[in-house]
Amino acid sequence: MKLRHHHAVWLMVLVALLWSTAGVATRYLEYARTFEVTFWRALFASLSLLVILPFFQGRAVFQKIRHAGWALWGSGLCWAVMFTSYMVAFTLTTVGHVLVTLSLGPLLTALVARVAIGFQVPLRTWVAIVVAGSGMAYMFSSQMGSASLLGGLVALTIPIAAAINWTISQYAHDQGHALDLVPAVLLGAVLSTLATCVLAYPFQASRHDVMLLGLLGVFQLAIPCVLCMVCARVLHAPEISLLQLLEVIFGILLAWLGAGEEPGLPVLLGGTLVIGALVANEFLAQTVKPRRTE
């Protein structure tokens, strides 16, 4: 799939919207516990990807996985960490603490990409990272008091894994178009399913829960994650990570509209900072070309 820059940006906005549906959907679960939620969601994502990937790429996609190099397996492991740690962190600490930790993603991505592959981060992106990170911290600063150290450490693995993942994608793109990292999403879903299978026992989810988690597995994990990897062929690593912050903004709005969780003034002001930083960064991206060190 060939995308222009502005098409990839809008596609990432859609990806963030799909990702953000998990929070409001979990408000309608009946009996499923945290690890069981993770298991069913990852399982249905794996099953749907077994259909989606061959449909678009043919059976050769399985040959790519079988003969894949370190980049594909490394990206798959990163996806598995993100799929699994996200829900585990919520069982150990507050939602606010997890989301504030996730806001470190753009900064960590910029740093990892700079150190690992010599990516010269534009000044506009650094400024947007600082402004967006400040907005995220302000939005949830009132919830930091009850956060646990262990939960914070688990949550920290998510932006670290994301930073490594986007840097791998950027490096693969720089090496040529022959290396396809989209199947890494399938590897991540399968690894996450295996990691949470035992922890989910005994299963208590109702039929309603399984159906809802099945929808999340397809439309909240499988489809948007594949689209995100497609966008990674066009967008730079820090830019992707910055656009991901829209997931939090959309999640707050969906919780407000779908579950009656009305955001307060700090959420509205912080969200304005995040969206403003994203809009400014994308506007400047049309005229400023990123540079790379030799």
What is the SS3 string spanning the chain? CCCCHHHHHHHHHHHHHHHCHHHHHHCCCCCCCHHHHHHHHHHHHHHHHHHHHHHHHCCHHHHHHHCCCHHHHHHHHHHHHHHHHHHHHHHHCCHHHHHHHHCCHHHHHHHHHHHHHCEECCHHHHHHHHHHHHHHHHHHHHHHHHCCHHHHHHHHHHHHHHHHHHHHHHHHHHHCCCCCCCCHHHHHHHHHHHHHHCCCCCCCCCHHHHHHHHHHHHHHHHHHHHHHHHHCCCCCHHHHHHHCCHHHHHHHHHHHHHHCCCCCHHHHHHHHHHHHHHHHHHHHHCCCCCEECC
Tokens of 50: 């077994």
Q: What number of other Cβ atoms are within 10 A of residue 247's Cβ?
A: 21
Average pLDDT, the chain: 81
Instruction: Say how many Å lie between the first and final Cα of the chain, rounded.
Output: 29
The reported pLDDT for the residue numbered 185 is 85
More confident call, 206 vs 259? 206
pLDDT tens per residue across span 155-164: 889 989 988 9
Whether the predicted pLDDT of 260 surpasses 80: no
Measured CA to CA, the distance from residue 172 to residue 276 in angstroms comes to 30
Phi, psi angle pair for 149, to nearest 5°: -65, -45
Report, as an integer, the average pLDDT of 97-105.
Answer: 76
The reported pLDDT for the residue numbered 228 is 85
The reported pLDDT for the residue numbered 44 is 95
Whether the predicted pLDDT of 229 surpasses 90: no
Whether the predicted pLDDT of 107 surpasses 80: no
The residue assigned the tokens 């259909």 is 51
Q: Name, of 14-28, 93-107, 201-215, 239-253, the range with top average pLDDT.
A: 201-215
Model confidence at 293, in pLDDT bands (50, 70, 90)?
A: very low
280-285's contacts with Cβ under 8 Å and 24+ in sequence apart are 280/124, 280/128, 281/124, 281/125, 281/127, 281/128, 281/239, 281/242, 282/9, 284/122, 284/124, 285/5, 285/124, 285/239
pLDDT tens per residue across span 168-199: 877 877 776 455 667 888 899 999 999 999 88
**Residue from 108, 227, 197 nearest 157 by CA:** 108
Residue 289 CB-density burial (10 A; 0-12 exposed, 13-18 middle, 19+ buried): exposed
Q: Residue 291 pairs with which residues in a beta bridge?
A: 120
Distances (CA, A) of 266 to 139, 142, 243: 5, 9, 21
Whether the predicted pLDDT of 131 surpasses 70: yes
